[in-house]
Amino acid sequence: MTPWWRDRSMALPAASGTMIAAGSLLQWNGADQAAPALLWGALLVGAWTFVPGALRHLARGFLGVGLLMTIAAMGAVTLGHIGEAAALAFLFSIAEALEDRAMDKAKHGLGALLSLIPSTTRVVRDGQDVAIEATEVQIGDVLLIGAGERIATDGVVTTGRSTVDASAITGESIPLEVGPGAEVLAGSVNGSGSLTLQATAAGTDNSLTTIVRLVQEAHQRKGDRARLADRIARPLVPVVLVTAALVAVVGSWLGESSVWIERALVVLVAASPCAMAIAVPVTVISAIGSASKLGVIIKSGEAFEQFGTIRQVAFDKTGTLTRNRPQVVTVLTTDDTTDAEVLRVAAALERTSTHPLASAIVDAGGRTLTATDVEELPGHGITGTIDGIAHAIGHHRWLSPGALSFATDALTDDGMSVVVVHRDGQVQGVIGVRDELKPEAAEAIADLASAGITAVMISGDNSRTARAIARDAGIETVHAEQFPQDKADVVETMRRQTPTAMVGDGINDAPALAAATVGIAMGATGSAAAVESADIAFTGHDLRQIPAAIAHARRGRRIMTGNILLALAIIVVLFPLALFGVLGLAGVVLVHEVAEVVVIGNGLRAARLRGLRREEASPLPATANSVCTDGCCTTGTPTPLLTIASASRDEVTR
């Protein structure tokens, strides 16, 4: 963030304050001619920051704090108190500048979403392969997708087999095996095989463009929330104006008109919410600044206000609750081999593969064996020769698990992807790979529950995987197999019932982040589109900081509410004193200034993080099931690996 002394939005308030100080000094030294000019300059410069906006809002029928401050300054000028009017203008202008500084109101574009669509793609036209703009693709076109290429629009595979990484769209953590008849989505990344697709959506109307539209619609539905001070000022402004008018009219009718008109103007100044105007931004800036120490970047004052009201948090699974890094979790073997041998064989075959599961297997198995004549069969698996013996590794629908077939369903139900290893045509073992839960996730969910906040999982992953991870995390409510629009609909329904935060990191989470009361993007690892769609960016990695940040926001909201109540109490006290002539304009302005010092001091308390969890003070606990067996600790770092060698059906069930 730009330092305040270089922030252009602070220039006019600073100039106004400087001129007030200089004018007051000259007035104190008897320079009665130069002082008024400086005070008028301070008034005009300060008023320029809020009067035009207040008048524009009035033209649209919006009554806010700015209008009341404008009327109060005009009243002071009418009474001939230029210095007091300049002070009011300066105080409100600095409050507005502070709030603008606390709020990041920039509307980021959704270019990060659309950038996932390649600029060009290859299609078959008139029997020829031609490259065209992706936006020119029409329904029915035949697309040629090479290895590693991104798919330009939604389509159905007509020929070829491969794996497709659709995590950006669906949140599916493990790439999908696709073949003829399989549907693929725009923005997905093709694996090592070549595919021919028939487009089922135009290049300008597909999965990704739908996500863009959903995000825009969610922002429009949510709209701009009025600031707390403006929500209070909306009914206050007409009451004050009507009361001041009645004081002037009735007083003039019953007594001397000049006295009662002046008193009505003092009433207007007394009712100006100076303390209220500055109380909120000071509290917001203090709280937002300190929240960054928790790895939580709050983009706006409105988001901070809403963050303190959250009673329900919806979590995406992949990359949010999980590591987004598949790991070997389970190894089952036949009687004539060991788990370490199965892992070493699998690692040798997978060493040159680009499949996302390959890196997990290589990390677990090490590099002690070498395979020759390695051939990768897209959509199936890999074959090769090790020590003169033919080996193969692949999906259990391609390679039969044989005697270990009883375990594949159990492993799948536990959220794992199952890989079968064959030696000389016979099953040697099966390997379970899963994107593991972050070690602190369960504690973070427990922290939320202890604070009275419900946790829910919303995932695009398959139901069995999502429920297995949710069970480990301690989450009871799970919405699985959700596409981006489904996620947004679920969050919208939840938000209508109770204030809801959505935590996610993927492009497929962007509509849900925009639809939530507060969207929290995993900024350190998340997509740019998710960060742009969210109200808050979480740059840390410890999920326990999120409940700590909510507690911090709740405390800040309590401080802000206290400041608002204090500001209202001052108005309630000053109003009758001004009405009955006990205090004049100078006394009213003095009380307002003292009150502002008090609320500023109170607002600065929101910066304290006392009693909240700090990342550096809370090291992550060791993973309970992390063990180090032969072949899995190639880097010295334990890999979560539960080895079940020569397991029976009863042992697996148990």
Just list the catalytic residues: 316
Closest of 199, 191, 159 to residue 174, by C-alpha: 191
The distance from CA 37 to its chain's CA centroid, rounded to whole angstroms, is 49
Phi, psi of 178 (to 5 degrees): -125, 150
Give the phi and the psi of residue 372 in degrees, each rounded to 5. -120, 165
Task: Tell me the two tokens of residue 572.
Answer: 């309630």
Three-class secondary structure of residue 433 per DSSP: strand
Q: Which residues contact 302 (CB under 8 A, 6 or more apart)?
A: 103, 224, 225, 227, 535
Residue bearing tokens 């909306």? 234
Q: 459: part of which helix (H) or strand (E)?
A: none
β-bridge pairing 176-178 and 142-145: unpaired
Contact 536, 519 (CB under 8 A): yes
Q: How far is CA 152 from CA 187, 199, 234, 413, in A?
A: 6, 9, 50, 33
* Cα 158 from Cα 142, distance rounded (Å): 9
432 and 416 in contact (C-beta within 8 Å)? Answer: yes
Do strands 417-423 and 426-437 pair parallel, antiparallel, or not at all (unpaired)?
A: antiparallel
Q: How far apart are CA 180 and CA 154, in angstroms?
A: 14
Residue 556's identity, in one-letter code, is G
- Residue position matching structure tokens 């104190």: 28
Distance (Å, rounded) from C-alpha 317 to C-alpha 543? 13
First-residue to last-residue Cα distance in the chain:
55
Distances (CA, A) of 626 to 358, 413, 631, 636: 20, 21, 14, 12
User: What does residue 329 show for φ and ψ, rounded to 5 degrees?
Assistant: -110, -40
Q: How many CB atoms lie within 10 A of CB 556?
A: 27
Structure tokens at 633: 């600790």
Closest by CA position to 646, among listed 310, 340, 287:
340
Under DSSP, is residue 511 helix (H, G, I), strand (E, B) or coil? helix
500: helix, strand or coil: strand
- What sign does the CA torsion over 582, 585, 589, 592 have? positive
